[in-house]
Amino acid sequence: MCSAEIGNQPLLSNIVGYEGQDERGLEEFMLTHKTSWSLKLLEHDRATSERLNVPRYISEAIDFIDPKGITE
């Protein structure tokens, strides 16, 4: 898992739909389910998902797709 998300594992697991408890399992889940967890991140409550330390390009992509939080 990205070191930027240390401490955010429970939140990230909840958002992406991973039900396990271990960091390595979350990483493996995210590597094998990229499309589904990306969509869940986009569709999740924006105020909550913005607490994650996602890379700038992902934040910019979300803002491009949903500029004013229209999916909320």
User: Going residue by residue through the chain (72 aa), what tens digit of pLDDT does each one get?
Assistant: 555 566 788 888 988 889 988 888 998 998 999 889 888 887 888 788 778 877 788 778 878 887 776 655
pLDDT at 32: 93
Overall residue count recorded for the chain in this entry? 72
What's the predicted TM-score (pTM) here? 0.65
pLDDT at 5: 61
Q: Write 34-43 long-range contacts (CB < 8 A, 24+).
A: 40/15, 40/16, 41/15, 41/16, 42/66, 42/71, 43/71
pLDDT at 70: 60
